[in-house]
Structure 1
Amino acid sequence: MKLSKKSMTVLSFTLGACLFVSTAFADTLLGSGYDRLKDSAKNTATLMEKDLKNYTVEALYSLKDNDQTLLQASTFAKMDTVNQLSEENTVTKTAKGETTSSYSYSDKKLSVRKSGMDNTYYVTEYPADVNRKGPAEFSNPFKENGAAEIEKIVDAVVGSLKDYVQVEEGTDGGKVYSGSLSEAQVPAVVNAVSSFGIKQMLHDERDLPKIESDIFVKKVVGTAVENKAGYLENVTGDITLSGKDKNGVQHDLSLNVIVKLSEVGNTKIAMPDLTSAKVEKVSYSGGFSSKYVGTYKNDIIMDKDGKFEKIGERTVVITSVEGDKVTGKYSETVYPGFESEYPNKDAFNFEYNPATSSTFTYTDAKGEQKNGTIHPNSAGKVYFEMNIEVIDKNSWKSSSLKPYYDGEFRRIFE
């Protein structure tokens, strides 16, 4: 199972809001722990952006439905902001027991990536004049578009409870923030925010249970450790969100997250030794080459009456890859009888040039100009993302997706 960026954003926001509120009923030890925790999070982000020089981040998370594991994932990332080096290992395990892994290394001149059982290392070399974002640049979430508005929403949800956050002195001169809430202690306003967030998250995720009613926060437990240098080095959170699907079946959706920041100033990153490895060089035009010219498709699938049903197809045709430029077209076909479920069928041509922009523009079925992007996914596959929000010339983020959207396309071989 693969969660969309939209789903992880909503789920993370819900967890974060509840984590702040979860400490609201604890005893007061050092004044407003809520404000202290928020300031510590902001300070940590600022330091990671430019002052920590090098560090290691380890993130672990698992998602369960009624004690059945849907997804387990771990990421081990090293960053060197001075020399602009980065290295990352990711492992993901699905409910079916399928495990996938990926490795990447990047510096100012080149990037290296390897996926799963594929023994090939794909190496991309970048000319000095390419307008490329630094591989170890940290994007401060508190400075992104809309961050201030989200902070105000969280503050409003917490309200006057912020004066009761638990914070204790740590053994090494730092601070420890902690708290927990049971079902009976969760304020109604938090349940309202969570209910909205869950419905938005699950709307387009066919791999997750469709919780539609009686949604509430069942349990929240969270801790955050701030060291004496003033930044967070360990954050954990457990949240259980409960609700019923359209058949009245009760689901407890539990998310566990652990994030550790370590080896500050002591993180070493070295380019992998590829002397005896199988290496394939790819163009810096998003990793595309002429071998990607062809037709790619995936199914439009909806959940109807407790069953998955194919209601149409999406098609991406890459017509040419010349230098940095990738040219092609996108279209959607919906089967008769399902027009009301998928009323706006997109069809457009696109021209993507990663040397000049991280996205391309297109006109959707409503006549509105939108942004999209495309990049190789794995052997014989591409990932095509639509309706995204451009932050600046080097970065973008997912916006609301089309119904039942899946961005992974598989090559069609005639």
Structure 2
Amino acid sequence: MNKKWVVVGTGLTLGSALFVTSAFAGIGDAAGYDAYKAAIKQTASISNVTKNVHVSVQDNGTKLLDVTSTIKSDSSFKNVSADVAVKAGDASNTAAFYKQDSKGVVKPGDSDVYGVIDMSGHDWHHGKDGGNDGNETWDDSTFAKERENVIDALVGGLKDQVTLTPQADGTKQIDLQLNGSQIPAVANAISSLVIKGAVNGHHPGKAGDMQQNPFADELKQFTGSLPKLSQDIQIKQVSLHAAVDAQNRITGQTLKVTVTGKDDKGAAHEVVIDAAADLSGFDATTPEQVDLTGKQVQNIEKTFGPHKGR
């Protein structure tokens, strides 16, 4: 397996996941909080959209990762296409990705081989397998409502930290800036566990999942280039800016998170994650598709799916 495929896949995941995460990262005073949630729901309800995403990671001022991606998707994520460019250290690569006909297709820029993964039964939009026909919406999803309630509870005293600035043309600007002691202890505790698990290659699934994953070695090599924070992990700063149009759709977001900590040798690190996403082509985007006829194809074993005994 071409190890650069994993870097590209990681870049696409980072770009998409950070965009989604940023939608829930900045929640503020009652007016801003409610306005932001309403904009998230309105944006999620559109049929299709184009996202231009940029993500970078720096450690002590040295850039470790830079990802640029253009992602076209429909609301159910049944059809997706993406062009991704990744630079990690001195290595760089590009790739095209497609989800079509219940299959995932990846073509690295330095190869003529198309990797194909059978994704039937996997719900990309909700990150699970089976149990959804692709028609689930925010309002009729019990899980989504429960998740929203959890977010509401975790927000707590942060509700006064947001600024909501309505514009004369009906657009809105939403901003959040948190520093040091303003960041809840629970957020630091959760981030510490997540960071420690990520840099050490721990997997949230049952024991043995990573051993069964053919990408495990490559993922381990990739995460090996990241600082292995193991102690005194703290979120130093979080800043979020969101632009909402007159139709109450999020058209752009930026997120910056600064995390400090020490590795096993006691060396101090300051890791800065910058993410930016611009949305366009609302209800006017058609994900691209690739014709595999006559192409070199390599089938990749499906490594996600329901696990028994959970």
Tell me the TM-score normalised to structure 1 length: 0.53
> Aligned pair count?
266
Change (3 A) 1:104 1:244: closer
**C-alpha RMSD of the superposition:** 4.2
Q: Aligned to 2:295, which of 280, 285, 292?
A: 280
Change (3 A) 1:280 1:70: same
What CA distance in whole angstroms lies between the structure 1 residues aligned with 2:260 and 2:75?
41
1:121-167 C-alpha deviation (Å, 9 max, x unpaired): 6498xxxxx99579xx9725786996556544433332143255321
Q: Aligned to 1:224, which of 225, 235, 242?
A: 242
Tell me the TM-score normalised to structure 2 length: 0.68
Q: Which residue of 1 aligns with 2:70?
A: 76
1:231-270 equivalences in 2 (<5 Å): 231-267=249-285
Say which SS state the counterpart of residue 196 (structure 2) adopts.
helix
- CA deviation after TM superposition for structure 1 residue 222, in Å: 0.7
Contact 1:241 1:253 in 2 (8 A): yes
- CA deviation after TM superposition for structure 1 residue 38, in Å: 2.3
Change (3 A) 1:249 1:169: same
Say which SS state the counterpart of residue 190 (structure 1) adopts.
helix
Q: Which residue of 1 aligns with 2:188?
A: 191
Structure with the greater relative contact order (CA < 8 A, sep ≥ 6): 1 or 2?
Answer: 2
Say which SS state the counterpart of residue 295 (structure 2) adopts.
strand
Change (3 A) 1:81 1:241: closer
Contact 2:103 2:119 in 1 (8 A): no
Change (3 A) 1:270 1:189: closer
Say which structure is richer in helix: 2
Say which SS state the counterpart of residue 193 (structure 2) adopts.
helix
Structure 1 unaligned residues grouped into runs of 5+: 125-129, 289-373, 376-383, 392-399, 401-414
One-letter identity of the residue aligned with 1:37: Y
In the alignment, is residue 156 of structure 1 matched against residue 153 of structure 2?
Answer: yes
Say which structure is richer in strand: 1
Q: Aligned to 1:176, which of 168, 173, 187?
A: 173
What CA distance in whole angstroms lies between the structure 1 residues aligned with 2:229 and 2:100?
43
Moved more, 156-165 or 222-231: 156-165
What CA distance in whole angstroms lies between the structure 2 residues aligned with 1:153 and 1:196?
19
One-letter identity of the residue aligned with 1:194: S
Contact 2:44 2:75 in 1 (8 A): no
In the alignment, is residue 103 of structure 1 matched against residue 96 of structure 2?
Answer: yes
What CA distance in whole angstroms lies between the structure 1 residues aligned with 2:23 and 2:113?
40
One-letter identity of the residue aligned with 2:50: T
1:177-204 C-alpha deviation (Å, 9 max, x unpaired): 1021222432333322322332232231
Q: Greater CA radius of gyration, 1 or 2?
A: 1
Change (3 A) 1:390 1:250: same
Contact 2:56 2:65 in 1 (8 A): yes
What CA distance in whole angstroms lies between the structure 2 residues aligned with 1:139 and 1:239?
25
Aligned-residue identity in percent: 27
Say which SS state the counterpart of residue 67 (structure 2) adopts.
strand
Say which SS state the counterpart of residue 306 (structure 2) adopts.
strand
- CA deviation after TM superposition for structure 1 residue 117, in Å: 1.6
Runs of 4+ in 1 over 6 A off after TM superposition: 109-112, 141-146
One-letter identity of the residue aligned with 1:223: H
Structure 2 unaligned residues grouped into runs of 5+: 1-5, 128-136, 202-222
Contact 2:73 2:79 in 1 (8 A): yes
In the alignment, is residue 56 of structure 1 matched against residue 50 of structure 2?
Answer: yes
1:3-402 equivalences in 2 (<5 Å): 12=18, 16=22, 19-20=25-26, 24=28, 31-47=30-46, 52=47, 54-79=48-73, 86-95=80-89, 97-105=90-98, 108=101, 113-118=106-111, 120=112, 122=114, 132=120, 139=125, 150-162=147-159, 164-204=161-201, 205-267=223-285, 279-280=294-295, 282=297, 287-288=298-299, 374-375=300-301, 385=303, 388=304, 390=306
- CA deviation after TM superposition for structure 1 residue 79, in Å: 3.3
What CA distance in whole angstroms lies between the structure 2 residues aligned with 1:169 and 1:94?
39
What CA distance in whole angstroms lies between the structure 1 residues aligned with 2:63 and 2:259?
15
Change (3 A) 1:158 1:109: closer
